């Protein structure tokens, strides 16, 4: 079974993601992580690399109930759990390309500078997308024109 991608500093964090190809959301609080697992039961979840029984865990039923009743919106906004939901990025990228027509007009096949500028700008404005997928889609759109 493949492991989730861990960025530097994620060794001590709890992770969850819909795919091993996506950058996971990380948690330092085990109870928030358990609640996220409850909200997204089909997703891949991993404990920290140094996980042991010393972590303080509330009763799961209490933790989930408390989480759902008082913190769902806050946690989703705080940790951007909405980025865990797989996205069909075609429409979003197409709209982005229209809004950035000036950069698109400067592109010629093989012009990595403009391609990288578009990808970087897109990723800065839109969190939670896989960079390589975005680059491929943008390149395909540019080469079709």
Evaluate the CA torsion angle 141, 115, 133, 15 in order and state its sign. Answer: negative
User: Measured between alpha carbons, how far is 90 from 96 in angstroms, rounded to an integer?
Assistant: 10
User: Is 78 in the same domain as 111?
Assistant: no
101 in a structural domain: yes
User: Measured between alpha carbons, how far is 39 from 75 in angstroms, rounded to an integer?
Assistant: 11
pLDDT 10s digits, 26-71: 888 887 888 788 778 888 899 888 776 555 555 555 555 555 555 6
User: Is 14 in the same domain as 46?
Assistant: yes
User: Is 68 in the same domain as 114?
Assistant: no
User: Is 132 in the same domain as 72?
Assistant: no
pLDDT 10s digits, 71-127: 665 665 556 565 555 556 677 888 888 899 888 888 887 788 888 899 999 888 877
Structural domain range at position 23: 10-84
Lowest mean pLDDT segment, chosen from 19-23, 99-103, 118-122, 139-143:
19-23
User: Is 55 in the same domain as 118?
Assistant: no
At 69 the pLDDT is: 56
**64's tokens:** 């989930």
Choose one of 84, 101, 122: the last residue of a domain: 84
User: Is 62 in the same domain as 31?
Assistant: yes
* Distance, C-alpha 118 to centroid of its chain: 19
Choose one of 84, 108, 132: the last residue of a domain: 84
User: Measured between alpha carbons, how far is 97 from 141 in angstroms, rounded to an integer?
Assistant: 9
User: Is 79 in the same domain as 35?
Assistant: yes
User: Measured between alpha carbons, how far is 79 from 28 in angstroms, rounded to an integer?
Assistant: 11
5 in a structural domain: no
63 in a structural domain: yes
pTM confidence score? 0.43
């Amino acid at each position: 079974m493949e492991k989730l991608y861990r960025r530097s500093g994620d060794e001590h964090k709890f992770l969850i993601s819909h795919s091993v190809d996506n950058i996971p959301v990380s948690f330092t609080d085990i109870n928030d992580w358990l609640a996220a697992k409850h909200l997204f039961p089909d997703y891949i979840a991993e404990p920290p690399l140094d996980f042991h029984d010393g972590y303080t865990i509330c009763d799961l039923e209490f933790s989930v109930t408390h989480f759902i009743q008082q913190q769902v919106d806050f946690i989703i906004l705080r940790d951007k759990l909405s980025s865990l939901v797989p996205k069909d990025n075609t429409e979003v990228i197409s709209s982005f390309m229209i809004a950035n027509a000036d950069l698109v007009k400067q592109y010629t096949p093989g012009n990595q500078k403009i391609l990288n500028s578009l990808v970087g700008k897109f990723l800065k404005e839109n969190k939670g997308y896989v960079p390589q997928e975005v680059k491929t889609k943008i390149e395909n759109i540019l080469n079709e024109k």
